[in-house]
Amino acid sequence: MKYFYVTTPIYYVNDKPHVGHAYSTVIADCAARFKRLSGYKVFFQTGTDEHGLKIEKEADARGIAPKELADSMHIKFKELFSDLNISYDRFIRTTDADHVQTVRTAFEKLLKNGDIYLSEYEGWYCTPCETFLTEKSLSEGGKCPQCGRPASKVKEESYFLKLDKYEKKLLDFIENNSGFIKPEFRKNEVLSFVKEGLKNLSISRTSFKWGIPVPGDDNHVIYVWFDALLNYLTGLGHETYLEGRNPDFERFLESTNHIVGKDILKFHAVYWPIMLFALGLRPPKTILAHGWWLMDGAKMSKSLGNVIDPKVIVEKFGADALRYFLLSEITIGLDGDFNTGSFTVRYNSGLANDLGNLVSRTAAMLRKYADGKIPGKNAGEDAAVLNEALVLLNGLGERYDRYDFAKILEDIFRFINILNKYINDSAPWKLNINEPEDRSNLFKILKTAAVSIYYISYFIYPFMPETSGKINNMLNIKPFDLPGFSLDPGDAADYCEKLFKNGFSIAEKSEILFPRIKFE
């Protein structure tokens, strides 16, 4: 059995979700769906980060308790993920009892081993980013280099995590594991940061109370990032693993893929591996740092008021339209501008014209010329067209492992356009069904189109699961997201050949997949 563990960041509950949250989660969902389809045992985790000074301040501003804020806001993330058809296995909250226990267990172990010690912290802190800053890293005017807001000077007793102890081990691990940080150019950024020298990390605070208390010292609460990162162990059942009752824990841990924004890469590629080293566990297999979605050239930010509500887009245009745009518009790792004009063009040209029209007219021709039946084994198929599908199938798993989603989608739509051109050039509507040769050619065209559309439904399933299901419903074929269904890309061609061998009837009616839109 092959294992695949994929996670998103856990999202702060200080405000409702925006497109940036949707992006991370859709990337992870796409990867999880493909791995399930390929026969992997998959665990996909997302959730909410509910502790820290930022949450305490937001709750205080609203006149409610921090837990009350968390209880109300985490529902908005769940609702969005439901709207986007996110297939997570667990939605974790850092206020969950098992997570609190994991954090306490980890803290106690590192304290006992000498990897955590008590001292005093004096330095700069950015509350919105929940980040400790060095004097050198501050922007002009004493501002946080990440969010541009003023940092605060703090001095307080603190527990520290020893980073310097594991600096060389981390450098060796990064340099000897080429797939650890993706894209590759982000690897050099992390190496440069580590080579400047790691200073031990303050991992507790006494200036606020909303957090997990340090075991044995209620004056301190555990730093939100130390708390949050451990969610990746909680979800896998860290406590049952320690009790010897979780044989899958290490297998999943070895296959970990963290999907994060580039602004939190340092926490995942530096602090998190060191925490795992100290706990005697292996670092993640891959940390994928994607870029930001910008609006008019600026990063979307709730404080700037330039965020796009993904829920509104889903309600107007459908989940698959947003999923498709997010994964096709930019190469993962680069920044992209959420432009309504670009969204409209991609929707109308790619989804409505190319894919939607292809499926609609193929279904119409099958009903008109073949009594709604897929021509059987005697109809023949056009090898030149179907070979294009086989080319796309070849190496698909490796391309998913590289998170080459934009290029995969580009090649899928290239195949869609090849099929559209094939139908246009063949002009089946000009053939005389009463002439034996024309009838044979007509059925060959229809069979080729139907088989190709099934391949397309397979290709788009991780990206657009709802649309894939609609296509399969039109073809009268079981959808891919049935429990227990798996189909390795290497087996897809054989499966497709057997499926269409004897022909069958398609659905009597099918809906328009993507009506043309105007984005206002």
Average pLDDT over every residue of 123-136: 77
* 305 pLDDT more than 80: no
Residue 147: φ, ψ to 5°: -110, -10
| Percentage with pLDDT > 70 across the chain | 98
* 225 pLDDT more than 70: yes
Q: What is the pLDDT of residue 517?
A: 87
Q: What is the pLDDT of residues 175-209, one digit of tens each?
A: 999 899 999 999 999 999 999 999 999 999 998 99
Average pLDDT over every residue of 502-506: 93
Q: How many Cα atoms sit within 13 Å of 162 on the Cβ side?
A: 17
Please report the domains of the chain, with CATH numbers, ordered by start residue.
3-316 (3.40.50.620), 339-500 (1.10.730.10)
Average pLDDT over every residue of 335-358: 94
DSSP-derived secondary structure for 293-348: EEETTEE--TTTT----HHHHHHHH-HHHHHHHHHHHS-BTB-EE--HHHHHHIII
DSSP-derived secondary structure for 256-289: EEEEEEGGGHHIIIIIHHHHHHHHT-PPPSEEEE
Supply the angle between the helices 66-83 and 310-317 in degrees, to the nearest 10.
Answer: 30
Burial 254-270 (b: 16+ CB within 10 A, else e): ebbbbbbbbbbbbbbbb
Q: Which residues contact 58 (CB under 8 A, 6 or more apart)?
A: 14, 15, 69
Q: How confident is the model at residue 410 (pLDDT cuts 50, 70, 90)?
A: very high
Task: Please give the single-letter amino acid code of residue 135.
Answer: E
Residue reference for tokens 């280099």 = 145
- Cis status, amide bond into 462, omega within 30 of 0: no
Q: Given CA atoms 401, 405, 406, 412 in this order, what sign does their dihedral have?
A: positive
Q: What is the pLDDT of residue 133?
A: 81
Closest CA to 103 of 159, 164, 156, 58: 159
Q: What is the pLDDT of residue 290?
A: 97
- For 285, the token pair is 């297999």
Q: What is the pLDDT of residue 411?
A: 98
Residue reference for tokens 């702060």 = 12
* 32 pLDDT more than 70: yes
Q: What is the pLDDT of residues 52-106, one digit of tens each?
A: 998 999 999 999 999 999 999 999 999 999 999 999 999 999 999 999 999 999 9
Q: Sort strands 293-295 and 298-299 into parallel, antiparallel or unpaired.
A: antiparallel
- State the Cα–Cα distance between residues 58 and 171, nearest whole angstrom: 38
Poorest-pLDDT segment among 30-44, 118-132, 170-184, 324-338: 118-132
Poorest-pLDDT segment among 68-72, 130-134, 455-459, 471-475: 130-134
Q: What is the pLDDT of residue 154?
A: 80
* 481 pLDDT more than 70: yes
Q: How confident is the model at residue 123 (pLDDT cuts 50, 70, 90)?
A: confident
12: left (phi over 0), alpha (psi -120 to 50) or beta: beta
Average pLDDT over every residue of 144-162: 86
Q: What is the pLDDT of residue 139?
A: 80
Average pLDDT over every residue of 337-346: 90
Q: Given CA atoms 488, 493, 496, 501 in this order, what sign does their dihedral have?
A: negative
Q: What is the pLDDT of residue 520?
A: 64
Q: How many Cα atoms sit within 13 Å of 72 on the Cβ side?
A: 12
Average pLDDT over every residue of 360-379: 93
Q: What is the pLDDT of residues 465-479, one digit of tens each?
A: 999 999 999 999 999
Helix (H, G, I), strand (E, B) or coil at 381: coil
Q: What is the pLDDT of residue 273?
A: 98
Task: Count other Cβ atoms within 10 Å, centred on residue 329.
Answer: 18
Q: How confident is the model at residue 113 (pLDDT cuts 50, 70, 90)?
A: very high
Contact 168, 276 (CB under 8 A): no
- State the Cα–Cα distance between residues 340 and 347, nearest whole angstrom: 10
- For 262, the token pair is 């580039």
The mean pLDDT of the chain is 93
pTM of the predicted model, to two decimals? Answer: 0.94
Residue reference for tokens 């990867």 = 31
Poorest-pLDDT segment among 121-135, 371-385, 506-520: 121-135
* Helix/strand/coil percentages in the chain, nearest 5: 50, 15, 30
Q: How confident is the model at residue 302 (pLDDT cuts 50, 70, 90)?
A: low
Q: What is the pLDDT of residue 364?
A: 96
- State the Cα–Cα distance between residues 146 and 144, nearest whole angstrom: 5
